Amino acid sequence: MNKLLRFSLFFLVFAWFSNTANAQCVSSSSNVYEFFYNGTHYEIIRENKSWQSAANCAVMRGGYLAEINSQQEQDSIFYHVNQAGIIASNTVAPDGGNASYLWLGGNDLASEGDWIWDGKNTGTGPQFWQGTTAGGPIGGLYNNWGFEPDDFNGQDALGLAFTNWPLGTAGQWNDVKHTNLLYFIIEDADTLVALVHPEDQIEFNAYPNPGSGLFSVELPEDIYGQDQALIRVFDLNGQLVQELRVSKRKTHLDLTGFTNGLYFLQLVNGNVVRATEKIMLQK
Ligand SMILES: [Ca+2]
Ligand SMILES: [Ca+2]
Ligand SMILES: [Ca+2]
């Protein structure tokens, strides 16, 4: 394939990808505020999503909803939340004293009172708190609740307060309903810049396409053997359905357990998205 054709094809695929999967995640890069803490890339996303949609979006961007593990991380995140150009009235949880919040990666959705760090929305993760205000931390893990959690009318997701509420102050945590549509904070997001540099793109083939479940994925020589290469598979809703580490030039991808439809493949190398592909599953 000549270079110009390859270049054009790349942009067609990229435009198509942006218009479908990414459109359901972040609609404009101008709504993304980036920062680094302790060598890790964070993003504050100024778009409103339910807790689960926000977590799915975090995974699609290569990370997870932020999990705060220390006072230093709390302080750094809250500092940047205040630098991120957030208009408080755009990210309000009515059941959280009508104050403003951003999603963090904690919830007690799976089991009431068992607060876990579940920033990838897998339903599992380390537990950091047990019970309501009368409860306590688990395993000495960090927490920064206000006079919370109180499970008021059934609250199962963790909000970082941007403004004060009757039971706490800005910066502290509150449990609010997971269906609130709030801004959110992603930890360990990929650096997506490679997508706009076609010369950095990696050749990446998945076949047969369409296929009935077993796909072969072929990678070029230059990432052969590097254990940092990852293939991620997303469904049309942006939910991560599979993630595999690439250690061989030719890899097999088994989607036989999934429903028919279109899936997106992301090839990640060196914490950068190097290629995207779409495959059709037709059993
Ligand atoms: Ca963290
Ligand atoms: Ca709860
Ligand atoms: Ca609460």
User: What is residue 198's predicted lDDT score, i.e. its pLDDT?
Assistant: 55
With b for 16 or more beta-carbon neighbours within 10 A and e for fewer, the 72-94 pattern comes to ebbebbbebbeebebeeeebbbe
- Residues in the chain where the model's pLDDT stays below 70: 1-24, 191-201, 221-228, 237-238, 270-272
Rounded distance from Cα 83 to ligand 1 centre (Å): 19
pLDDT of residue 10: 46
Q: Which residues contact 257 (CB under 8 A, 6 or more apart)?
A: 213
User: How far does the centroid of ligand 1 lie from the alpha carbon of residue 73, in Å?
Assistant: 7
- Ligand positioned closest to the Cα atom of 65: 1
Token pair 């688990």 is found at: 138
Which chain residues have CB less than 5 Å from ligand 2, an ion? 108, 151, 156
User: Ligand 1 centroid vs 281 CA: distance in angstroms?
Assistant: 36
> Cβ(92)–Cβ(100) under 8 Å?
yes
> Which ligand is in closest contact with the Cα of 130?
2
**Token match 């932020």: residue?**
66
Q: Calculate how far, in angstroms, residue 38's C-alpha sits from the geometric centre of ligand 1.
A: 10
For domain 191-281, the CATH architecture is: Sandwich (2.60)
Architecture of the structural domain at 29-187: Roll (3.10)
Give the ligand with the smallest distance to the CA of 150.
Answer: 3
Three-state DSSP at 2 gives coil
CATH 3.10.100.10 positions along the chain are 29-187
Q: What is the pLDDT of residues 69-88, one digit of tens each?
A: 999 999 999 999 999 999 99
